[in-house]
Amino acid sequence: MMVVEIEKPANMALAEWFNELRSWFDEHNCEPTSFLPSGRVIDKVVFDATFAQNTQALLFASKFARYASAIRRATSSELGEILPDAGSLAKLKPHSAE
């Protein structure tokens, strides 16, 4: 899994920027595994978009390079947050249908 870090442009409303990103995701039949705020760099808000497929992450990063994107592999703690433990999922499932 790869994470693309992008900064929200200061001159664009959040809704407008999200709409631009959503349009690109829809056009490319792409859905990030997660898309979360990761903090601030000076006065800019930074988001992490995590992708299961590295090719999608690379394509997204190249398309939105103007938003100062960086790309890296997901850390083990990020993977733990994104991919739930299969054992804990089994505990949530009912054993019999009523």
Q: What pLDDT is recorded for position 19?
A: 95
Strand-strand pairing, 2-7 and 34-41: unpaired
Instruction: Give domain limits for the chain.
Output: 2-84
pLDDT in tens, the chain (98 residues): 899 999 998 889 989 999 999 999 999 998 899 898 887 667 778 999 999 899 999 999 999 998 877 888 877 766 666 555 433 333 444 444 43
Q: What pLDDT is recorded for position 69?
A: 76
Separation of alpha carbons 2 and 32, rounded Å: 10
Which option is the CATH number for 2-84: 3.30.70, 1.10.3470, 3.40.50, 3.40.210? 3.30.70
Separation of alpha carbons 45 and 17, rounded Å: 12
Sheet with 44-51, edge to edge strand ranges = 34-41, 44-51, 2-7, 70-73
